[in-house]
């Protein structure tokens, strides 16, 4: 694999994991604009444990994932008191708070950034993304996944059936944050350097677009959304200065023609139904 292709695969894999960090809360009816904050928690936790504590690399990545998961669950508890745009603003505020803490924390380099010791190769990053996708697909097939979908469709009706809506939302938000922490840890160890400026609002906004464009109804939506935003700009690279204009027009067209996302449950049912008929 060439260095150029390996770089694209690594970016796509990290973006896919980050997309699932937003998809899981969205599948339970919550919009998260703080993905960059959870990614930063994972990246800095893994890098610090590696450089300062000398932990083995797999343990550093697992610890970073667990740390982001716990932080996400704790943040979700007060977050669920908000609704709609106020929830989006609250998650945005979380990301800014994390950035503000890290930029003033000398132990991890502050504004100058923090070097990461151990290196993770592209095949490992891609394998982690593939495993993450399989885990999400499995999760959505369980009773917990059905509860998430039910809450997304009708929260009040779900509560009437005896499902603890608050508990499901907290767990979904926490697991999503764990995916963000995993993405951050892999990002840091693959590029061997992290700085707060990379975990910004633009990153959170793009991640939310991965999910909204791809679709929030199935686990394949974030896969398609991450692929569009990671691969399409490279395909259009030959257009030079016009590639971003073409890319923007294509995104607007998708939003207009497919407001529920590129991949929907109904669309998948029709696709597999036709294949079965043949």
Tens digit of pLDDT for each residue in 196-214?
A: 999 999 999 999 999 989 9
| Long-range contacts (CB closer than 8 Å, 24 or more residues apart) made by 50-59 | 50/116, 50/117, 50/118, 50/189, 51/114, 51/115, 51/116, 51/117, 57/118, 57/120, 57/189
Q: Would you place residue 259 in the very low, low, confident or very high pLDDT band (cuts 50, 70, 90)?
A: confident
Which pLDDT does position 62 carry in this prediction?
A: 97
Q: What is the mean pLDDT of residues 23-35?
A: 92
* Mean pLDDT, the chain, integer: 90
Q: Would you place residue 273 in the very low, low, confident or very high pLDDT band (cuts 50, 70, 90)?
A: low
Give the CA radius of gyration of the chain.
19
Which pLDDT does position 255 carry in this prediction?
A: 83
pLDDT at 236 over 90: no
pLDDT at 112 over 70: yes
Place of tokens 């973006």: 15
Which pLDDT does position 276 carry in this prediction?
A: 41
CB 145 within 8 A of CB 4: no
CA separation for the pair 21, 75 (Å, rounded): 14
Beta strand spans in the chain (E): 114-115, 193-194
Q: What is the mean pLDDT of residues 134-144?
A: 94
Which pLDDT does position 274 carry in this prediction?
A: 54
pLDDT at 52 over 90: yes
Q: What is the mean pLDDT of residues 23-52?
A: 94
pLDDT single digits (tens) 113-129: 999 999 999 999 999 99
Q: Would you place residue 245 in the very low, low, confident or very high pLDDT band (cuts 50, 70, 90)?
A: confident
Instruction: Tell me if residue 255 falls in helix, strand or coil.
Output: helix
Q: What is the mean pLDDT of residues 163-191?
A: 96
Q: 91: Cβ–Cβ under 8 A, 6 or more apart, which residues? A: 31, 32, 33, 34, 37, 79
Q: Would you place residue 24 in the very low, low, confident or very high pLDDT band (cuts 50, 70, 90)?
A: very high
Instruction: List the single range of 91-95, 163-167, 237-241 with lowest mean pLDDT.
Output: 237-241
Q: 29: Cβ–Cβ under 8 A, 6 or more apart, which residues? A: 151, 152, 155, 169
Place of tokens 């745009």: 85
pLDDT at 277 over 80: no
- The angle subtended at Cα 146 by Cα 144 and Cα 149, nearest 5°, is 115
pLDDT at 261 over 50: yes
Which pLDDT does position 189 carry in this prediction?
A: 97
CA separation for the pair 115, 125 (Å, rounded): 19
Place of tokens 């070097």: 115
Q: Would you place residue 278 in the very low, low, confident or very high pLDDT band (cuts 50, 70, 90)?
A: very low
């Amino acid at each position: 694999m060439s260095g150029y292709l390996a770089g694209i695969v690594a970016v796509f894999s990290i973006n896919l994991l980050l997309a699932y960090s937003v998809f899981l809360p969205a599948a339970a009816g919550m919009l998260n604009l703080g993905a960059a904050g959870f990614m930063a928690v994972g990246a800095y936790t893994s890098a610090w444990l590696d450089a300062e504590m000398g932990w083995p690399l797999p343990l550093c990545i697992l610890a970073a994932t667990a740390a982001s998961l716990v932080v996400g669950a704790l943040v979700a508890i007060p977050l669920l008191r908000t609704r709609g745009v106020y929830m989006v603003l609250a998650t945005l505020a979380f990301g800014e708070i994390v950035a503000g803490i890290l930029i003033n924390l000398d132990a991890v380099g502050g504004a100058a950034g923090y070097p990461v010791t151990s290196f993770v190769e592209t095949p490992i990053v891609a394998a982690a993304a593939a495993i993450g996708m399989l885990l999400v697909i499995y999760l959505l097939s369980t009773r917990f996944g059905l509860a998430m979908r039910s809450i997304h469709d009708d929260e009040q009706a779900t509560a009437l059936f005896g499902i603890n809506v608050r508990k499901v939302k907290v767990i979904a938000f926490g697991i999503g944050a764990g995916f963000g922490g995993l993405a951050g840890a892999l990002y840091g160890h693959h590029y061997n350097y992290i700085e707060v400026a990379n975990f910004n609002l633009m990153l959170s906004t793009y991640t939310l677009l991965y999910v909204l464009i791809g679709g929030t109804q199935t686990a394949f939506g974030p896969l398609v959304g991450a692929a569009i935003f990671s691969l399409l700009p490279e395909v259009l690279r030959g257009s030079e200065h016009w590639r971003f204009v073409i890319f923007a027009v294509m995104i607007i067209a998708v939003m207009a023609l497919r407001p529920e996302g590129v991949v929907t449950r109904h669309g998948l049912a029709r696709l597999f139904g036709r294949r079965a008929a043949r």
